[in-house]
Amino acid sequence: MAATARAAVSGGLGRAQRVALATAGGLGAAVALGGGAGAAAGALLAVVLYRWLPRARSPDERRAALEEEQLTRQLPLTAELLAACLGSAASPAVAVAAVGRSVGVPMGPRLVAIAAELALGAPPEVCWTRLGEEHPTLAPLARCLVRTSLSGAPASGPLIGLAHGRRTAAARTAHARVRRAGVLATAPLGLCFLPAFVLISVVPVVIGLTTRFTQDM
């Protein structure tokens, strides 16, 4: 179950896993409710679970998603380093190249390429806009640098604010993933124990009430 939860959080579930979980949920509901209504509810729940559970992605999609996730993790540090280097006496091309050599892949090679374009005289706003279009994760960084490039204002303050905001958002995302993994790990277990709970707790009460009502009549 823990492996299933990790698969659902990271790359989705395969067709066999989704069918197994949906079938288990449908059978649990059918046994718990019983009768024709239980069978109908179980079938409906199985269909809903099959469509709701995340699908497995292709290798290219997983690779692209992993790269975007790495860029997201590197963004706060990159923004802070750019703020420090651009605030010095170095030219934008030299500052961006220094940051590109300091951070790892996949962020580093992209910054080094932009630094080479800046050194050749390319407009900074064009370079940063293209970076944001190619990688939506880096769009906030690109917009920040485009604004400061067009206005001539120092980039240090906006970049530091961007780094702080990205770290806060990353912490919230991590907490949300942990909560979702817990739900995905415990939901199948709950569905397995639901029929036993109904048989042990609910059925005796219903039988007792029915017997007492019959005796009173």
Residue 175: what pLDDT? 85
Boundaries of every domain in the chain: 2-58+187-212, 66-168
Exposed/middle/buried for residue 118 (C-beta within 10 Å: 0-12, 13-18, 19+) = buried
Residue 3: what pLDDT? 45
Cα-based distances in Å from 135 to 16, 130, 132, 162, 169? 33, 9, 5, 16, 18
pLDDT in tens, 101-120: 999 999 999 999 999 999 99
Residue 213: what pLDDT? 67
Residue 6: what pLDDT? 44
Residue 19: what pLDDT? 80
Residue 173: what pLDDT? 85
How far apart are alpha carbons 50 and 129 in whole angstroms? 40
One pLDDT digit (tens) per residue for the chain, 217 residues:
444 444 444 456 667 777 887 788 777 777 776 677 767 777 887 788 777 777 767 778 788 888 999 999 999 999 999 999 998 878 899 999 999 999 999 999 999 999 999 999 999 999 999 999 999 999 999 999 999 999 988 999 999 999 999 999 888 888 888 887 777 677 666 666 766 666 677 667 777 777 776 776 6
Contact status, residue 17 vs residue 55, Cβ threshold 8 Å: no
| Residues shown for the chain | 217
